A and B are shown apart, each in its own frame.
Chain A
């Protein structure tokens, strides 16, 4: 039973389109994340979200927006896709302690490879 699942695994779309990537975790974690891994293989955090607050990496364009219908889901919506958005996007989840420290491991999904043409 997959702990963190993302769909779709591959996504090819044209510039200017709007697309969404779904993420679900069945671990009961209270915090979910989105990471972007570019062609140089650098993993960069985009968002972290729990039921209290959304933390946004200031370098993320506002075309990207996370939406959480419930604690088990954090979907990533991308508007007006650009060529530079091509990357692998990873969703993750973890549990934050009351002190805000991640004291259990984060689980990552298998990634969504987005190609913008």
Chain B
């Protein structure tokens, strides 16, 4: 799977947009980018995923660069409940021994402050 790199921590003011970057320079053409988050003591929660085009859902937006080497997760109006560790993941795209496995890195610890 493509290695992803994220900053270890970020702060964001409540009500402001939180922009979480992720580098995945080794991503291959058929590997999606997934974002998950883990709120303290809970199981990881899916946020969004994309391949080439930007994506938006009720939780967030995902901006993927044209060369697909990096992406940014945007929480448009962060709330205190968005405080969590956010994981950017690019699982293997080809059918094989580890197909579909989500390999979690260290993620970015986002702290939303009042």
**B-contact bits for A90-110, CB 8 A (1 contact / 0 none):** 101010100111110111111
Q: In the complex, what distance in Å separates the CA atom of A35 from the CA atom of B103? A: 10
Residue from the list B30, B43, B87, B102 in contact with A102, Cβ < 8 A: B102
Q: Which residues in B have their C-beta under 8 angstroms from that of A42? A: 104, 106
Q: How many residues of B contact A (CB 8 A)?
A: 29
Q: A42 to B105, alpha carbons, bound, how many Å?
A: 7
Contacts of B41 in A (CB 8 A): 111
CB-CB nearest in chain A for B102: A106
How far, in whole Å, are A90 and B104 apart by their CA atoms in the complex? 13
Closest partner residue, chain A, to B96 (CB atom): A100
On whether the beta carbons of A100 and B45 are closer than 8 Å, the reply is: no
CB–CB B43/A108 < 8 A:
yes
Q: State whether the Cβ of A116 lies closer than 8 Å to any Cβ in chain B.
A: no
User: Are the CB atoms of A99 and B95 closer together than 8 Å?
Assistant: yes
Main secondary structure of the interface of A (DSSP, over half): strand
Residues of B within 8 A of A111 (CB): 41-43
Q: A101-B30, A102-B91, A103-B32 are in contact. Are A33 and B101 (CB under 8 A)?
A: yes
B98 interfacial contact with A, CB 8 Å: yes
Partner of A101, one of B43, B46, B99: B99
Q: Is the CB of B95 within 8 A of A100?
A: yes
Tell me the nearest residue of chain B to A101, going by C-beta.
B93
Contact residues of A between 67 and 89, Cβ < 8 Å to B:
none
Query: Are B44 and A108 in touch, CB under 8 angstroms?
Result: yes
**Known pairs A105-B49, A110-B43 / 20 extra A-B pairs, C-beta < 8 Å:** A4-B43, A31-B100, A43-B87, A45-B101, A45-B103, A45-B104, A48-B100, A55-B97, A55-B98, A92-B102, A94-B100, A96-B99, A99-B93, A100-B92, A100-B94, A100-B96, A100-B99, A106-B44, A108-B44, A111-B43
Which residues of B pack against A, CB within 8 Å?
30, 32, 34, 36, 38, 41-46, 49, 85, 87, 91-104, 106
